[in-house]
Amino acid sequence: MDIDKTLFALNNLNKNTLMETLQIEFVDVGKDFVTAKMPVNSSVHQPYGLLHGGATAALAETVGSCASALFVDTKIKIVKGIELSINHLKSKKQGAVYATAKPIHKGRTTHLWEIKVVDENDQLISICKLTNIVLDKK
């Protein structure tokens, strides 16, 4: 796998999407993981000045869905998230968070991912599970 080429392709998919709005950037990819970064600033805060759980959830689903897409032939298959579970363990006011998706199960029609969201100091912010369905394109 050409890491630079894969990251370029993943980041290119973000144009004109929620991912671009949230400034999500894919920063690392490997044989069994995908990592993306999201800045934490007022654009992703809730009213108390903390990282909004919905922004964290969007980051997690983005990373897990893109991870699934890397493991299927996207010319004939499409990946859709069907369930996201997320626990927020620590708050964050500014800086950045990093989400890394690692597989729990990669079946023919469903994928289950564990996604850990950490800050710059590798402190756990949120932990997530994402289930994706893999469907034939119509």
Active site positions, annotated: 61
Task: Tell which residue, 79, 57, 58, has the closest CA to residue 67.
Answer: 79
Q: Which residue has the tokens 């009213």?
A: 47
State how far the Cα of 126 lies from the Cα of 8, in Å rounded to an integer: 26
Q: What are phi and psi of 96, to 5 degrees?
A: -155, 155
State how far the Cα of 21 lies from the Cα of 44, in Å rounded to an integer: 10
114 and 104 Cβ atoms separated by less than 8 Å: yes
109 and 68 Cβ atoms separated by less than 8 Å: no
State how far the Cα of 40 lies from the Cα of 52, in Å rounded to an integer: 9
